[in-house]
Amino acid sequence: MSLSVRAANGVEIPQLGFGVYKIKGKNGLFEQTIREAIQAGYRHFDTARIYGNEAELGRVIANSGIPREEFFLTSKVWTTDLGEERTRRAFEQSCKKLKTTYLDMYLIHFAGPGYVEAWRALERLYEEGRVKVIGAANFEIEHLEQLRKHAKIPPMINQVETHPLFQQQPLREYMSHHRILHEAWGPLGQGNVSLLDHEELRSIADRHHKTVGQVILRWHLNRNSIVIPKSSNPKRIKENRQVFDFELSGEEIDRIAQMDTGRRSSVNPNGIQVNPLYVKLTRLFLNVQNLQ
| Residues with catalytic roles | 51
Q: What are phi and psi of 139, to 5 degrees?
A: -90, 135
- Do 224 and 184 contact (CB within 8 A), yes or no? no
How is 58-98 classified by DSSP, letter by letter? HHHHHTSSS-GGG-EEEEEE-GGG-SHHHHHHHHHHHHHHH
- Do 42 and 70 contact (CB within 8 A), yes or no? no
Distance CA 53, CA 47 (A): 8
> Of the candidates 191, 228, 231, which has an alpha carbon nearest to the alpha carbon of residue 107?
228
> Of the candidates 171, 162, 255, which has an alpha carbon nearest to the alpha carbon of residue 207?
255
CA dihedral 130, 133, 139, 144 (to 10 degrees): 100
Residue 227 amino acid letter = V
- Do 109 and 78 contact (CB within 8 A), yes or no? yes
Distances (CA, A) of 103 to 34, 50, 134, 269: 18, 16, 10, 25
